[in-house]
Structure 1
Amino acid sequence: MDYLKNMQKNNTGFIDYNMYNPFLLKGMEDALYRIVKAINEREKIVLYGFYDVDSITAISLLMLVLKFLNADVEYFIPSQQSESRDLVESDITKHIKYLGPGLIITLGCGINSFSEIELCKYMGIDVIITDFHEPIKRPPDTIVVNPKQEGCNYPFKGLCTSGVTFKIAQAISSYYKMKSINKYMDLVMIGTISSKTKLESENRIFAQEGMKKLKNTNNYGICALLKTHNIVDINEDTVSKLALTVMPTINAVGRMDNAKIVVELFITSDSNRALQISKYLDKELKNSLMFR
């Protein structure tokens, strides 16, 4: 990990696009060590996130990065609504358990899931919590990456799920010397704008640079959405429209199912499949609006 140490020697400044070094986030070094171990030893990694657009883009981003590195990775989106964004015990015992993970990475959730994390430990599953919500008390005894946790000196506290996930991706890319990590800025931008967080500091960078990336995106899913909805001019309004088109609809089960379809849209390497999914989502959106 000499490369990691060399990066941290320069952790007081900015890196690409004037963004803060991801290793300024408390817990990032430990998170990277554990993720690298899982990748290199072919442990099953399960990403656990929710069905809003911010979480969907975060899941898609990390899926693309980990798959590029040939990691054994899957994702899970719960069917239950959870305003507290806690992990759901039944998800762990009835679903995730049977995927056989050695590591669960939460995306934008789990900061207050104390008993559920203990359950995972009991089952022999390590957990990395990545979140942006306020902890109600000291985070559980596990690896936590959250700019709002006690003792984290990260200069910007306003990151959303996709923003925190991008910082994780930056750390991973620094270790594996990936040169193309910024191509995912379009996904981060869609997630950030959909989250309604203030477009200041790094969020403004995500929005501005993401819109530039969007104009020449190589993500088949985003290309399909732009084509389906005849979007030519790229601005905050049209990006908000994009977010609306992938917003899971109808009932709780429908939201979960559609969320999985949207993840497939963003991670597919088949342009025809992407266009097929995009048209399906457009039909779903129109149907949901009809019954409001």
Structure 2
Amino acid sequence: MHRPRWIPADVDLDRPNPARILDYFLGGAHNFAVDRRAAKQAAQAMPEVANGMRASRSFLRRAVTALVEAGVDQFLDLGSGIPTVGNVHEIAHRLAPEARVVYVDNEPIAVAHSRTILGANPLVTSVRADLRHPDSVLDLPEVREMIDFSRPVGLVAIAVLHYLPDADDPQGLVEAYHDALAPGSYLALSHATVDFVPEDQLGAVSQVEGIYRQISAQLRPRPYGEVAKFFTGLDLLPPGVVPVRQWRSEWSEEHEGKVHLSYGGVGRKP
């Protein structure tokens, strides 16, 4: 396979990449044949997977729009993947052209893609960092140059925390981030769940999890109570923590499927 010159030499293009698989499901162009094969395997095992990813992306659009309308003009997107097909900066800039966005991801391929897509945009940057180390992320010069932490920030964690096992204490990590933000900041979060998956489809969920394990990506869906804990100490915006398709939306089964696969919510730091 032809190797684009912008891809780091240490990146294995023979292995599917979760960020590029998502890009494929969203209709993007930043994926390769190996990613498309893995995506099709997951969709064959559980057809609702593609709809679930599109529903989560639709939630991102509505959540970021709500934050911009609330006056937020700077965003920190954790585990951002590839910023394509309606990501944070595209959504925010429609309403607030001067909004600043920092994308954070620890996957070299995702960051390489991001920097190519973003080019020299002075209002957006992509940094390679591990969200499991909040102090390191928040102290990066690129982050400090773009984000004014004395003012409200929109912290975005869409479809990322379900890749962290309990041993990484994802709730503690989220608390560390919003503890560092100014009052009036927001958390927009979505997280995979199997709460609504019929019992006869749980085997399909296991197959999808197995596909992701093959590409070194663990999936840890969580129930409502665990997802709601991420918003501890925050004031939830109506309608609270709900399936992403039901967050300020008239969702369509035709376009976003019948089975809820993610919870989502937005909370404000008092």
Calculate the TM-score normalised by the size of structure 1: 0.31
Report the structure, 1 or 2, having the larger strand content.
2
Report the structure, 1 or 2, having the larger helix content.
1
Calculate the TM-score normalised by the size of structure 2: 0.33
